[in-house]
Amino acid sequence: MDGFVSFREAIQAANTDAAVNEATAGEADGDGVGFDESLSGGMLELVLGEVLITDDLVINVPDPIATSPSNDVTIGGNGTSRLFQIDTAGF
């Protein structure tokens, strides 16, 4: 364990409703994943391929209106993958 919650760990915890490393367990219905304010204006590259989402989930990013539009968080697939695979069977 490294003391940080990765994007993948947070989504896996939301999907499974179980703790994953430092990520707390998700809820049975409706989860949220948020980014630390220090990531505003940053790029998150999903270098390990797409992220599977199997539970209803809201991804919260730092508010660009409260800061500035240049502080948007961008999620990319490094040009090699789609970003998310959403499986609605469990919703």
* Cβ-based burial of 55 (10 A; exposed 0-12, middle 13-18, buried ≥19): buried
What pTM was estimated for this model as a whole?
0.78
Determine the Cα–Cα distance for residues 6 and 35; give it in Å rounded to an integer: 10
Query: 45-49, 53-57, 67-71, 78-82: which range is least confident on average?
Result: 67-71
**61-90 pLDDT, tens per residue?**
766 555 555 567 778 888 887 899 999 886
Determine the Cα–Cα distance for residues 4 and 27; give it in Å rounded to an integer: 20
**2-11 pLDDT, tens per residue?**
778 989 999 9
| pLDDT for residue 9 | 93
